[in-house]
Amino acid sequence: MRLQTHLRFCAEIVQTEQTQLITRMKEVDTRSNAVQQRLIDKQKRFTGYCEQSKKLRDVATSLKRLDQSLTDLADRMCAINLCLPPDEQLPPLSFRNKSISPSSSSS
């Protein structure tokens, strides 16, 4: 009888510790799933930022090409303009906007 009581007592302790371990494992699993989901969300955002960055680089490259083409065009037009008689020449062509000060744009 004393052995049975001791074994029952040990079994209860083991069962309690197993229940605590299972509970703790569930908590850790829940937290790790939450961390994993946050990482997935961050990865999606980062992927979006990378795509936007690539689009911006593509636009910047296109703008540089366009700027070079306009500069070349202005140079050619200037050369043609210089071939005209002085009284028929046009004012120099520039594709650059003059900077607009904030005070003049608000009026």
Q: Is 70:96 a contact under the CB 8 Å cutoff?
A: no
Instruction: Print the domain residue range for 39.
Output: 2-85
Q: Kindly state whether residue 104 falls inside one of the protein's structural domains.
A: no
Tally helices (H) and strands (E) across the chain: 2, 0
Instruction: Say if residue 48 is exposed, middle or buried (CB neighbours under 10 Å; 0-12, 13-18, 19+).
Output: exposed
Q: Kindly state whether residue 25 falls inside one of the protein's structural domains.
A: yes
Q: Kindly state whether residue 92 falls inside one of the protein's structural domains.
A: no
Q: Kindly state whether residue 66 falls inside one of the protein's structural domains.
A: yes
* Phi (first) and psi of residue 19, to 5 degrees: -65, -40
Q: Check whether 94 has a pLDDT greater than 80.
A: no
Instruction: Say if residue 70 is exposed, middle or buried (CB neighbours under 10 Å; 0-12, 13-18, 19+).
Output: middle
> How many domains does the structure of the chain reveal?
1
What confidence score (pLDDT) does residue 93 get?
A: 77
Q: Kindly state whether residue 105 falls inside one of the protein's structural domains.
A: no
What confidence score (pLDDT) does residue 98 get?
A: 57
Predicted TM-score (pTM) of this structure:
0.55
